Amino acid sequence: MSTWHVMISTTAVFAAALPIAQAGPCSPEIDRMQARVDARLAARASAGTTGSESSTALLHRQPTPDSIAKAEEGLRELSAEKVAKVQQAMKHAKAADRAGDASACAEALGAAQRALD
């Protein structure tokens, strides 16, 4: 291996480690909360709530996109507003973490947890 290849490989390793070296004061907590959020969303998606079959469903007609959307809207347990609130809180937590503001980060993570519950 030439010196050039060694230098490129070493630079790549250091570049990959740079974000880890610049982690903020609550990066571990953000990672744990993100894992909880992802697990909660995955569990909700895989659980797939079910609804009762309507009398129109028995008439041998294909459902329309509109009828599917209406049926799914009634089944959602984790609403789009809640998901948006969690995402916004996580965005604030990451910004506070980058700024080194541990208290604002903790407050944003608390807001994310409350929105998730």
Question: Does the structure show a pLDDT above 70 at 111?
Answer: yes
Token pair for residue 41?
């969303």
What was the pLDDT predicted at 50? 62
- Give 78-108 pLDDT, tens digit per residue: 567 888 898 999 999 999 999 999 999 999 9
Contact 82, 116 (CB under 8 A): yes
Rounded to two decimals, the pTM is: 0.57
Mean per-residue pLDDT of the chain: 76
Tell me which DSSP letter residue 55 carries: S
Question: Does the structure show a pLDDT above 50 at 113?
Answer: yes
Residue 28 CA to residue 19 CA, distance in Å, equals 13
Range among 15-19, 24-28, 77-81 with highest mean pLDDT value: 24-28
Cα within 13 Å of Cα(69), Cβ side: 3
Token pair for residue 33?
């909360």
Closest CA to 101 of 30, 50, 39: 30
What was the pLDDT predicted at 5? 44
Phi, psi at 6, each rounded to 5°: -65, -40
Q: Provide the strand spans (E) within the chain.
A: none
Question: Does the structure show a pLDDT above 80 at 76?
Answer: no
